[in-house]
Amino acid sequence: MAFLRADNRFQGVIYRLGGERHQRFIRVFLAWKCLVGELLSERSHPVKLDNNVLFVGVQNSAWMQELILLKTDIIKNYKSQFGEDLQDIIFTIRTGGRKK
């Protein structure tokens, strides 16, 4: 019997639960750490993807500024990883959300 990593199985379940409509957002959410790095992923998280615009919640204004400076690179990383167009990223201050 071949063993699969547990996170691969959970990803499959998440995709099925999210449905076809949310597949793209789920991909971005699960890959956020790869797109921005560990430090920034601990202080931000994707909130929604609407009409090729990604909305991202950020811990505070200092981290928001850092992400704004890296926006072009994040969009390039997204395009190279997914082969899809991303028009813009809008950052908003969000308290709470994803925890370590």
The pLDDT tens digits for 6-43 are: 466 666 665 566 566 788 998 999 999 999 999 999 99
For position 20, what pLDDT does the model report? 67
The residues pairing with 90 across neighbouring beta strands, listed in sequence order, are 55
How much is the pLDDT for 32? 97
In tens, the pLDDT along 44-60 reads 999 999 999 999 999 99
| pLDDT value at residue 11 | 64
Distances in Å between the Cα of 85 and the Cα atoms of 17, 62, 65 are: 24, 27, 23
pLDDT at 69 over 70: yes
Sign of the torsion angle spanned by Cα atoms 44, 93, 62, 66: positive
Whole-prediction pTM value? 0.79
Domains in the chain, please, with CATH?
Answer: 6-93 (3.30.300.180)
